[in-house]
Chains A and B, each alone.
Chain A
Amino acid sequence: MWRSLDDKARSAEELNRLAEEEQPGGFMGDLVEPSTLVSRRAILKGSSIAALAAGLQGCLRRPEDIIFPYSKAPENLIPGIPSHFATVTARGRDALGVVATSHDGRPTKIEGNTAFPTSLGATDVRGQLYVWDLYDPDRSKSPAKREGGALKDATSDEFDEAFEGLAKKHAADQGAGLRLLAPISNSPSFRAMRDKVQAKFPKSKFHTYSPVNDDNAREGARMALQGKATPPLYDHSKSLVTLSFGSDFLGKESGSVAAARRFAMTRAIAEPDQPMNRLYVIESNFTVTGSMADHRLRSPQSDIEWYAKMLVIGLAGRGVDNLGALAKVLQADLDPSELQGLELEWLLGAAADLLANKGRCIVLAGASQPPRVHALVNAINGALGNFGRTTFFGPEVDADEAASVESIASLASDSEGMSTLVIIGGNPVYDAPADVDFARLLAREGLTSVHLSDHRNETTLACSWHAPLAHELEAWGDQQSQDGAVAVQQPLIAPLYGGRSAIEFLAAFADEETTRGHDIVKATHADQVKKDTKALLGLGAPDKDTSPESVWRRSLHAGILFVPKGTKPPVALQGIIEAFAEKKPRTLVSATNLEVSFEPDNGLWDGQHANNLWALELPSPMTKIVWDNAAIMSPATRDALELENGQMVRLKVGDRQVEVPVWPLPGHADNCITLTLGWGRTAAGRYGNGKGFDVNPLRTSDGMGFANGVKAEALPESYNLVQTQTHDRMEGRPIAIDATLEEYKEEPDFASYRSVEPVSTPPLWKQQDYSEGYQWGMTIDLASCSGCNACVVACQAENTIPSVGKIEVERGREMHWLRIDRYFVGDDQDSPQVAVQPVGCQQCEEAPCENVCPVNATVHSPEGLNDMVYNRCVGTRYCANNCPYKVRRFNYLDWQGHLDDKWAFYGDFPESRKLQFNPNVTVRMRGVMEKCTYCVQRIQEAKIAANREDRTIRDGEVTTACQQACPSGAITFGNLNDPNARVTKLKAINRQYQLLAEIGTRPRTTFLARVRNPNPKLEGKGS
């Protein structure tokens, strides 16, 4: 088991030396001091003065503190008790239902909404991130207008006057010359207002553009489903065999949260004889979905279409008659020489598995695959009888809306006579396809451009007018997920900087009677209820009041209005056959004809979270790189191109080029390069500006997903990429344990057998009695954890954990309480397997950290928690040195703005960011150790609530932040003394083992070993 390629190359002695050198959380190399820091001497001088001052201050009367109660208290608001609001957040055409927590009027934390079908109670990484954006200090705070070549602040009145002026002007010419551009929207009210604008300005044109979208799936559905643009939705809990054609359905695809939860249901088995899903993945990049695969085939993206075609032919040849006509066409112009290098045996193995599980399998295609592949996938699922069983279709929405790429291209090409361009959100100057020169379009003589945006981004800076757009937590709205569920987006706070929502701007532009977001949304809501009273989910039961007002109130409370039933459209092969009429030769990739794929970033996405500190410092799940993106390629390709790790490379297609540093990822397809979007922003804000590399200049209209024919040119410079991976190593020991299903059947207790017999060391202190009261414990199921990182951000949000910056991460000073270790498994360096393992404080019963603290700052609680007392901590760091799991984090600098500017890492600490802090958690200062507490604040709140009601805590009442966020449901927490608690039952499963059991720490967190389910007939093929 090895952690990185460098490790594999190193000798054992060298690894030992490195492991010794590496101090927990404190590798001090020859690093450049950030300019904001002061010298060690100054710190000592200053700290002694500070200590003296603090000492004196403690003796004197504390400053007078004023309490400001309400004059007239709002109804149902109890100071000190958080309120929860069901709301929703947009995912392109999809939506994620969430519950937002508000402390005294400040939204602080986002959780999933159990009632909403795309969430099922969990969130993804972005669901956790977006509350930070609300308090982003670099949000636009006022309207602005262009004056003398530069954007200058303007008043709201000035903007409104100009905006109304534009509306009046175009009312006269019916909107000729008026163009509007907005990102893809999932909002019924937005569509209603868009229609109003178009009705008022009939000659205007409305364009949509989102750089990351599901357009290919929509177009593919159009081909296969008689023109219906409804992308398929999958129920993974019913699938026993899943074949993914480049789909990262557990990571970055739409609907990944519910997919992960349902997928985990068929993977986390309690007994060896339970039915278990088998996952086949063909992909270019190594994604989190690939890491969950039982059989993973690395392949260029362009070859995936060929695999899909061969699967159709293979299935038709094995008796799936429905595909016969299509297979005939595909086979007709197939030249066997074109199939060279394809792993057809692997594919046939998967096909046999699919055939054996008709109606209980899923074939799915990635968002970057062309529509033709999506069409094939629909045909295959239809022919295998999966429709209505594992594959469903939602309602068709915006059927005649053109694909993003075409829409923005037509805006650019058909700009004759355009005099006004209103851009609602988005950032096309940064993320439009490279062949659409959006900046030049905006620079046209005589064009009035208006950008409504939350930030003054690259696009804003090129426009003539700007007004701030409200955050999702600040404005009324409504959203619809792909399966048709509608939820109202409730504001939790008045707009911080006077922003308005898109629907409010559009209503004002269309000169509607009401421009209040609330009224618009309520009107749309009432319309929907009228149209479809039958579909009201649980809200419109016969005995309940179905008046719009009553339904409105109940749907606000539940966070969901209704889910229309999924449809089961018939497949028509004719459309697909037409799509394949034009023959496209197979592209063979090579070192001189490389393929690049574009992927949204794990945290930054398409760049919309580029200034988000949590997103910037979130390790990329596979490479563990923070604060940067890179050209990810296989080690073999790196060597073939004669590149070094971190060396800059120039990637060229025609005259377009980008320069990116190189990073190898074992398991990546050869001669392919993956580039992540969202980086290299120039107007993101103080944190995100200039971080990473902008790869959009290489992304053209015909290669939004991937492009071939790329040349690489090595550059002499090298770039410093920082990973969290090489820290915290645990070499050569049974850490993340896994076995195949066969092995599990033979040895049901393989986990304890492969791990080490837990030893019992004589305790140094009096042994505690844990048989009484609450005893907290946790299990983490490695069979369902995909390493998606949602828990890491959730922990950061709940516990006010700072981001520390690239240089400090390089020094090993990252603060994440919960990290996800990623191990490569297997001897095949080109195509290894991956094991992931989330590690936070293990809450050892015999905790080594407690024994070495000279000031009793970390002590054991009778409930089995390893308590950390910040106020006692003097910062010796002995505990971190003695922690075998390396989970303790030290505040080397003042991250949270306690002290004055020069002590803080980022210069001044913006006040707005403090609004996000969880009031139930102490804000730690410089010189203090911290670590995972099992969310002790939530435990205490639950205990207090139970005490008030004179009962004990119920199972499931305390959930830790990581558990709550986890889409896979891999984390379970509860009282070990409760025999009926879920955690107690899971601890009884035979897959359970302790991490580093041989040192006798008796951790309260235990892991359930992973089970892989490889196809016995496919041994040695693919991986």
Chain B
Amino acid sequence: MQIFPRELNYLPLALAVVAGGLGTGVFVLFWVFFAPTNLQVGYTPNQPVEYSHRLHAGELGLDCRYCHSQVERSHEAMVPPTQTCMGCHALVHTESEKLSVVRESWETNESIPWVRVNQIPDHAYFNHSVHLAGGVGCVSCHGRIDQMEVVGIVEPLAMQWCLNCHRNPEAHIRPKDEVTNMAWEPDEAWLAQRAEVAAELNPPMQCSGCHR
């Protein structure tokens, strides 16, 4: 006598399929959704000051280095001191409500608590200055900052992403005087010479290049 219906013979198979499906699901979940591309990209924290890069860097056309002044010298691009803001805003929009935090910082000598957007792990050592010296544009990693009202992450900043460029820098470099130009597009002359320029670069691919 059959206690269990015949259909139950398919149960192990069904379970296997379900388990396999679930497993794949979890795998895909981690692989795709928990990858830096998904976790990092798009992170756009609120800042203490409603500062618009679109307005300053885009419309007004300020060069990146006006505020991030040490980017060519230091590993840090440097978030500017309040002093830099007040250089203009001591004269421009002196009464603006949006600038109250800035004025307060200037008067009290306290820092403005900016929220970090781009962050790499402690064991990786990134240096802004050498990338600029090599002709990597700001836009390559930071995206069209000049079109962002609030700055967020546009690239995954993962090791593989770094290495893709280090292995093949040719597509990512530009003339050194164009590094802060957000809208730059390669012209014929550059396309003709860039392979040669890239060959000189030798970006490190050994571990100690970035991990010390």
Query: Interface of A with B (CB < 8 Å)?
Result: 59, 61-62, 64-73, 78-81, 773, 859-863, 865, 867, 869-871, 920-923, 933, 936-937, 939-940, 943-944, 947-948, 950
The 29 listed contacts between A and B (C-beta, < 8 Å) are A59-B39, A61-B39, A61-B43, A62-B119, A66-B114, A66-B115, A67-B79, A67-B114, A68-B112, A69-B80, A69-B81, A70-B111, A71-B106, A71-B108, A71-B110, A78-B78, A79-B74, A81-B74, A859-B207, A867-B208, A920-B212, A922-B122, A922-B212, A936-B212, A937-B125, A937-B212, A940-B208, A944-B75, A944-B129
- Is B178 an interface residue when CB atoms closer than 8 A count as contact? no
Once the chains bind, are A80 and B119 in contact (CB under 8 Å)? Answer: no
Give chain A nearest CB distance to B79 CB in angstroms: 4
- Is B139 an interface residue when CB atoms closer than 8 A count as contact? no
- Is B44 an interface residue when CB atoms closer than 8 A count as contact? no
Once the chains bind, are A69 and B123 in contact (CB under 8 Å)? Answer: no
Task: Enumerate chain A residues within 8 angstroms of B30, measured Cβ to Cβ.
Answer: 59
Q: CB within 8 A of A79: which of B76, B116, B130, B202?
A: B76
Task: Enumerate chain B residues within 8 angstroms of A937, measured Cβ to Cβ.
Answer: 125, 212
Give chain B nearest CB distance to A909 CB in angstroms: 16
Measured between alpha carbons, how far is A863 from B114 in the docked complex, in Å? 40
Task: Enumerate chain A residues within 8 angstroms of B112, measured Cβ to Cβ.
Answer: 68-69, 71
Per-position 1/0 for B191-211, Cβ under 8 A of A: 000000000001001111101
Task: Enumerate chain A residues within 8 angstroms of B110, measured Cβ to Cβ.
Answer: 71
Give chain B nearest CB distance to A75 CB in angstroms: 11
Q: CB within 8 A of B130: which of A62, A65, A923, A947?
A: A947
Once the chains bind, are A71 and B212 in contact (CB under 8 Å)? Answer: no
Q: 4 closest A-B pairs (Cβ-Cβ)?
A: A861-B206, A68-B111, A80-B74, A80-B76
Contact A71 B109, CB 8 Å, known A59-B30, A948-B130 = yes
Once the chains bind, are A80 and B207 in contact (CB under 8 Å)? Answer: no
Once the chains bind, are B76 and A940 in contact (CB under 8 Å)? Answer: no
The A interface, classified by DSSP as helix, strand, loop or mixed, is: loop
Q: CB within 8 A of A59: which of B34, B74, B79, B105?
A: B34
Measured between alpha carbons, how far is A69 from B73 in the docked complex, in Å? 17
Measured between alpha carbons, how far is A937 from B212 in the docked complex, in Å? 6
Max chain B CB contacts within 10 Å: which of A70, A920, A923?
Answer: A70
Max chain B CB contacts within 10 Å: which of A66, A71, A72, A78?
Answer: A71
Give chain A nearest CB distance to B172 CB in angstroms: 16
Closest to B102 in A: A71
Once the chains bind, are B116 and A66 in contact (CB under 8 Å)? Answer: yes
Task: Enumerate chain B residues within 8 angstroms of A72, measured Cβ to Cβ.
Answer: 81-83, 106, 109
Max chain B CB contacts within 10 Å: which of A59, A65, A69, A920?
Answer: A69
Closest to B205 in A: A862
Task: Enumerate chain A residues within 8 angstroms of B80, measured Cβ to Cβ.
Answer: 69
Task: Enumerate chain A residues within 8 angstroms of B202, measured Cβ to Cβ.
Answer: 773
Q: CB within 8 A of A944: which of B43, B83, B130?
A: B130
Given A71-B108, A948-B133, 4 other A-B residues pairs in contact with their CB atoms under 8 A? A70-B111, A71-B105, A81-B73, A943-B130
Once the chains bind, are A861 and B208 in contact (CB under 8 Å)? Answer: yes
Measured between alpha carbons, how far is A62 from B45 in the docked complex, in Å? 12
- Is B147 an interface residue when CB atoms closer than 8 A count as contact? no
Once the chains bind, are A80 and B109 in contact (CB under 8 Å)? Answer: no
Task: Enumerate chain A residues within 8 angstroms of B113, measured Cβ to Cβ.
Answer: 66-68
Once the chains bind, are A69 and B72 in contact (CB under 8 Å)? Answer: no
Give chain A nearest CB distance to B19 CB in angstroms: 21
Closest to B111 in A: A68
Closest to A68 in B: B111
- Is B134 an interface residue when CB atoms closer than 8 A count as contact? yes
Once the chains bind, are A867 and B82 in contact (CB under 8 Å)? Answer: no
Once the chains bind, are B209 and A940 in contact (CB under 8 Å)? Answer: yes
Measured between alpha carbons, how far is A62 from B72 in the docked complex, in Å? 28
Once the chains bind, are A69 and B82 in contact (CB under 8 Å)? Answer: yes
Closest to B123 in A: A922
Instruction: Give how many A-B residue pairs fall within 8 Å (CB-CB).
Output: 126
Task: Enumerate chain A residues within 8 angstroms of B180, measured Cβ to Cβ.
Answer: none
Task: Enumerate chain B residues within 8 angstroms of A859, measured Cβ to Cβ.
Answer: 206-207
Task: Enumerate chain B residues within 8 angstroms of A922, measured Cβ to Cβ.
Answer: 122-123, 211-212
We find that the number of chain B residues with CB closer than 8 angstroms to chain A is 45
Contact A65 B119, CB 8 Å, known A79-B76, A871-B211, A940-B212 = yes
Task: Enumerate chain A residues within 8 angstroms of B43, measured Cβ to Cβ.
Answer: 61
Q: CB within 8 A of B211: which of A71, A869, A939?
A: A869
Once the chains bind, are B70 and A940 in contact (CB under 8 Å)? Answer: no
Per-position 1/0 for B17-37, Cβ under 8 A of A: 000000000000010001000
Closest to A862 in B: B206
- Is B181 an interface residue when CB atoms closer than 8 A count as contact? no
Task: Enumerate chain A residues within 8 angstroms of B70, measured Cβ to Cβ.
Answer: 78-81
Give chain B nearest CB distance to A863 CB in angstroms: 7
Per-position 1/0 for B115-153, Cβ under 8 A of A: 110010011010101100110000000000000000000
Once the chains bind, are B114 and A944 in contact (CB under 8 Å)? Answer: no
Give chain A nearest CB distance to B159 CB in angstroms: 10
Closest to B121 in A: A871
Give chain B nearest CB distance to A58 CB in angstroms: 8
Task: Enumerate chain A residues within 8 angstroms of B34, measured Cβ to Cβ.
Answer: 59
Give chain B nearest CB distance to A866 CB in angstroms: 9
Contact A861 B207, CB 8 Å, known A64-B45, A922-B212, A948-B72 = yes
Closest to B109 in A: A71
Measured between alpha carbons, how far is A887 from B34 in the docked complex, in Å? 39
Task: Enumerate chain A residues within 8 angstroms of B111, measured Cβ to Cβ.
Answer: 68-71
Contact A921 B79, CB 8 Å, known A71-B105, A859-B206 = no
Once the chains bind, are B74 and A69 in contact (CB under 8 Å)? Answer: no
Task: Enumerate chain B residues within 8 angstroms of A870, measured Cβ to Cβ.
Answer: 123, 211
Give chain B nearest CB distance to A203 CB in angstroms: 48
Measured between alpha carbons, how far is A317 from B67 in the docked complex, in Å? 81
Closest to B201 in A: A947
Once the chains bind, are A79 and B133 in contact (CB under 8 Å)? Answer: no
Measured between alpha carbons, how far is A862 from B119 in the docked complex, in Å? 28
Closest to A936 in B: B208
Task: Enumerate chain B residues within 8 angstroms of A80, measured Cβ to Cβ.
Answer: 70, 74-76, 78
Once the chains bind, are A65 and B206 in contact (CB under 8 Å)? Answer: no
Measured between alpha carbons, how far is A424 from B108 in the docked complex, in Å? 38
Per-position 1/0 for B97-109, Cβ under 8 A of A: 0000000011011
Once the chains bind, are B133 and A940 in contact (CB under 8 Å)? Answer: no
Once the chains bind, are B78 and A69 in contact (CB under 8 Å)? Answer: yes
Once the chains bind, are B81 and A947 in contact (CB under 8 Å)? Answer: no
Once the chains bind, are B207 and A867 in contact (CB under 8 Å)? Answer: yes
Give chain B nearest CB distance to A797 CB in angstroms: 16
Once the chains bind, are A70 and B208 in contact (CB under 8 Å)? Answer: no
Contact A65 B207, CB 8 Å, known A81-B73, A871-B123, A933-B212 = no
Once the chains bind, are A70 and B83 in contact (CB under 8 Å)? Answer: yes
Task: Enumerate chain A residues within 8 angstroms of B106, measured Cβ to Cβ.
Answer: 71-72
Task: Enumerate chain B residues within 8 angstroms of A61, measured Cβ to Cβ.
Answer: 39, 43
Give chain B nearest CB distance to A867 CB in angstroms: 4
Task: Enumerate chain B residues within 8 angstroms of A65, measured Cβ to Cβ.
Answer: 115-116, 119
Give chain A nearest CB distance to B77 CB in angstroms: 9
Task: Enumerate chain A residues within 8 angstroms of B119, measured Cβ to Cβ.
Answer: 62, 65
Once the chains bind, are A920 and B206 in contact (CB under 8 Å)? Answer: no
Give chain A nearest CB distance to B33 CB in angstroms: 9
Give chain A nearest CB distance to B30 CB in angstroms: 7
Closest to A871 in B: B123
Measured between alpha carbons, how far is A73 from B78 in the docked complex, in Å? 12
Q: CB within 8 A of A869: which of B45, B133, B207?
A: B207
Give chain B nearest CB distance to A775 CB in angstroms: 13
Give chain B nearest CB distance to A774 CB in angstroms: 10
Once the chains bind, are B82 and A865 in contact (CB under 8 Å)? Answer: no
Give chain A nearest CB distance to B163 CB in angstroms: 14
Task: Enumerate chain B residues within 8 angstroms of A67, measured Cβ to Cβ.
Answer: 79, 113-116
Give chain B nearest CB distance to A897 CB in angstroms: 14
Closest to A869 in B: B207
Give chain A nearest CB distance to B60 CB in angstroms: 21
Task: Enumerate chain A residues within 8 angstroms of B83, measured Cβ to Cβ.
Answer: 70-73
Contact A78 B73, CB 8 Å, known A61-B39, A69-B114, A933-B208 = yes
Task: Enumerate chain B residues within 8 angstroms of A865, measured Cβ to Cβ.
Answer: 206, 208
